[in-house]
Structure 1
Amino acid sequence: MASGRSIRSKITLLLVIPLVSLVALWGFAASSTTGDALQLLKIDALFGGVVNYTDPLVYSLQNERLASAVQLSEGESDATQLSKSRLATDQARQALLGSVKSDAVQSALTPEMRRLLDAVLAAIDRLPSVRLQVDDEKLDPAKLVLEYAAISDAVHRLYDSFAIGVDMELNRRAKGLIAADQVRELLSREQAMVVAADAKPSHFVLHQLAKIHGTRTWLYQRAMGDMDAELRKPFEKVPFAPADRAVTILLEMRGELTPVIWRASVDPAMAEYSKAIQTAGGVLSARIEPAGMTILVRAALTGILGLIAVLVSIFMAIRMGRGLTRELAGLRGAAQELAEVRLPHVVQRLKNGEQVELPPPIPSGTTTEIVDVAAAFDTVQHTAVDAAVGQAKLREGVADALRNLARRTQSLVQRQLKLLEEMQGQTDDPDSLSRLFKLDHLTTRMRRHAEGLVLLAGGSTGRRWRRGVAVEEVLAGAAAQVEDYTRVRVYPMPEAGVVGTAVADLMHLFAELVENATSFSAPTNEVSVRGEVVGKGFAVEIEDRGFGMTAEERDAVNTRMATQPVFDPASTERLGFAVVGMLAARHGIQVTLKPSPYGGTTAIVLLPSDLMESAQQEPAPLPEPVAVAGGLPRRTRKTAMPLAAPTPEPPPVELPRRPRQGERSPEQARATFSALQSGWERGRQEETDE
């Protein structure tokens, strides 16, 4: 099987890669959009769970810082106001702690947000220490402002981490609101610093006041620039002008500024600004949740539409891939069937001389290239069948020519045999008779070879017997047709006859096997022929004691004789086995070669039961052959060869002694050749031409 991936796997890989990429892109887009929407919803949760509690805390701290500044100012003390402000701060702190511990807030916090929230809580935890310093009056105005500012600064750093996500407009508005809240913190610092200095700040306090005032002015402009008209509207009512004039008086030292005048200028601005922060925060918070829902809906629609597109793409890809794979698989199967089944079957039938029909065309699909390939295979199929038909016609023509030549040769050989028979009957000279017998034997072998050529060309032997013949007689006639017949010994065997229609073919078949046995064994070795009745017919064993065959050669010959009923002109070696195979296939005979115990080869011929018939009683007894020292078997003449029942073995016939070593007497030679002639005559009697 060819190595490599199948077309199915390649098409699948070709489709899977873009589909996986498409699914990945869809998943990334859907997750990004959904993530942004969920982030907006988390920011809304953070506003509700953190900002709504830190903003009151910062406002309470600013009030507590102002009360602490009053506590530190000379000549004024308001313990009740300080206690109230501290109580409000503690309540805001507890509310914040309770809110940030909720699951909604904790799930919305990122690690960075959680770290900044912990910093806020840590700064709040220092508040008791700051209060002790206030009570002990150990803080100057600048130090007082910085201690409380640490908590506010931590809160604003936490606010900066609350990004609004992909909605850049909301993100900008949120940053503007955070900056506005920082402006309130700076205004509160200015308020507390001046109050703590009893409206008579030192140069250091003035310096710090100038820095805070400048930062507040710049940050306010930035905050207003980041907010839209709706968010800026609440800040338009804040009375910054009196507070700014009061700070300018202090910084420029253009006159006296009492704490009462300072508070009257700054407190209204501080109160109104705090309201503006709360109003703008509410507006922004109301915008966040709908924006998140809008993005979430948009993400859902994007995800659903993207999913539908992905599913449709997968469906179409799988459908087209399966269709293409099915077409290619069908084309491959049809091509394999054409190469392995249909064309070999057509070619084999043409070799057998049968009429064939052109195989149906290879089925094609809807793909242009596959249709073209199927058409190309059909063209190849037509070309191969045309070539096979041409070869069959050529083989038939060659076979006809060979049959004609062989028939002519048969006719000439038959006439030659009749002429030799007449000459043998008219000759009494032993030497002449010996030469005539040799010529008769050569002519008989020529006739067998001519018959073999006819058989290879697809014809029949042309000889027929009207009645059945004993198997032993058939084997004796076959042995008489080989060149080295003196080494062949046909052993006695049970009574059995062969139907007359098969006698000529069986005699030829046995002659080919016997001649092969004599050709591939030593001149001094005997070729034994034995037969016996078996369950499925009659078995004949032809055994030689030659060099034998290798297992591969023996298997090849057995396969050829069993599976090749038609002669292949390309296989010109061992033509005798080709003739044997054709005759065996014609009559349903099984021929098998196996190793001989003597090192040679044994041919086992199994004649089926339908070729056998009972032997008939002959009118006259036929003596068995007798071994004669230095000579040939001697038989009595007879005029016909009907089937006969075996008769009791007659006593041996004595042959005259030889006058000298290596020389036969005329009587002995005449008796020898008479026996040979009798055997050959039996092989030629009762035959008819086609």
Structure 2
Amino acid sequence: MGVVADAAPVRRRWRVTIADIPVAGKLALVLILPLAGLLGLAGVAASGYAAQSGRIGDLRGAVAAGAQAGLVTDGLQRERLALARLLGGDGSRDAFATEAAGTDAAVARFRAAAAHVDGGAALARAVDGLDGLDLLRARASDTSGQLVLLGYRQLIADLVAFQQGIAERPAPPAVTAAIRAAGWLAEAGEELALVQLGTLRALAAGELTPADRDDVTAHRAAAAGAFERFTAAATPAWRAQLAGLSLDVERPAPAATDAAGLARTSLAQLDGLRVLADRVAADNAAAVTDARDRQNRTIILGLAAVLLVAAAAVWLAVAVGRSQRRGLRALLQAPAAELTAGGRDEVGRVTEAFNAVRREAARAAADQAALRTGMSGAYADLARRSARLADALLERLDDVERDEADPDRLATLFAADHLATLLRHDNHSLLVLAGAGTAREHAAPVPLLDVLRAAQSQIEAYQRVEYGRVDDAVAVEPAAVDGVVHLLAELLDNAARHSPADRPVVVEARHIGDGATIQVADRGPGVDPARLEELNGRLADPAPFGPRPGLTVVARLAARHGLDVTLVPSPHGGLVAAVRLPPALIVPALPVPVPGVPARPLPPRVLERSPALPGAEPMDIPHPRKDGGRRPAVRAGVAADGPTVEARAFDGDPPRRTVESGPAPGSAPGPAPGPAPVSAPVEPDDVSDLLSTYQHAIGRFDAVTVPVNQEGHATS
């Protein structure tokens, strides 16, 4: 038929709506607002980063001005010391003039640096105070020397306050701490200079008055505190350089000795502090510059990333638009019914078609689910009805067998009993496939050997089952007994059907670690690795339905009880089905006493080792004996001297089970060695003895079974 024409003609409209815009245009509309918002946010962020970078640049200028303020402070301290010596009669005017000239040069550099800094009130006070420095020097000859020295102290205090105020500006935490350390160093230097000045005045006066001593002591304490704060915030290099200056600020005020020597010591200490202050200022300037450079790099990289994202978004939108247009146009050319769309674009047309297909698919899925649910319920009902009929048949067979003494007719009844048991097993498989729970429960754990025998009794070729090593020291939890028995029966039946009729199916069960492992080995042709991997996958993840119901039953029972079932190639040919029982399903096995049965040993006979699996050793199997019992059954013997049992297959009458007792074990030893053949006449008393012996073998399994109704609830 070819290409189908467009759907019903669309009435022309002059007004264009969003539904009429092509896919590429819609993508552009969708992309415009996010891109605009992204660029706007990027602009705001860049503006903020730029402002922060500008503040860091201002901080760099303030740090440079602070360094010049430190030089002015050092010059004023030296000038003040020279003036004190001059006033005390120990100095000269030339020395004072030399220090004043150095101070003037430092003031000029400070003014030049401060002109480019918005330093606030602290900087203004420092600059204005320096304007009166010449007047202060002129008053030194006609005014009290104490007042002049106080004037110097005020100028230095304003400069120190400006240096300490720089740390209040916004900056990274590390930079702020370093700038604050520089301010504390300036304060410590001034306090130390005041200590030296007070001592020098005492030397000039010839005595250290109590007032002078208190003043010196106060300045020493202030200097010590400032040095301590500086040390806490200083870098290791700064602390090492400070330690090399040997500033003993804790030493008491010295007695009056030599003014000239004290002056030399004071100047040496000022020189050392000046060198340290210069290093601190240089390091701070470098740190601020590095912070500014990092901020600038952040701005550049951020803008580049935003532009790259925007370009990538545009490119991706163009690529997606082109791809969608090509795909939608190809879909529109496929055969389809007429489409009714809300818009004229390709997406609107495909949406209508997809919605219709989805509605049909949803309706079909709902119908299929309802059909599957109904069929599952029907299967479950039929299985329960058939199970009830099988149970009724088994009860009738029990009644007939109980009164039958003829061995030939009794063997026929045993065969019919076994067929009814197989029928009930198939009914339980249908219940598992239908998702229904088991209709049985047990009152106590069941030994592992009895579980294996019960599984053996539920297959047709029970005579071919042989036992290797079986650890009978463990038992299966009551809630999982029926599920494990049914699962093992499916594996045994599968192994028997897919292996030669003259070869045995060998079962081993071992208690390994805190769990148990059961192995079912056959001598069949095996399967190729790909098929084996597929089967293991189906066992691990059971499908709702499948072409192999037995495999599905095994997978569902394994998932229900937390079992791990794996198929592996056997070294002797065929396959080995390994079933791992988790610790939650395993308990120690306890012997279940059978009332009225005396425990007496019987003469044993030795069977050779089973060849199917390694690790099986010869064992002793007791001969039949007389015991009380309710019904005949076929059981393998249990070794009297330990929990491990090894036995060969049973070649006698078929096993059977009743609705009260649950799955009966299926493998049993053959008749005791004797001269009489199977076809020889058997007396009724001998039949009763044989049935009593069988009953003793199944007593351990029957004693822990609780009858239940058809809904799966225990009956009293």
| The two structures share one fold, judged by TM-score above 0.5 | no
Q: Which one has more relative contact order, counting CA pairs under 8 Å at least 6 apart?
A: 2
Over alpha carbons, which structure has the higher Rg?
Answer: 1
TM-score interval, smaller chain: 0.3 to 0.5
TM-score (norm 2): 0.42
TM-score (norm 1): 0.43
- Which one has a larger percent helix, Structure 1 or Structure 2? 1
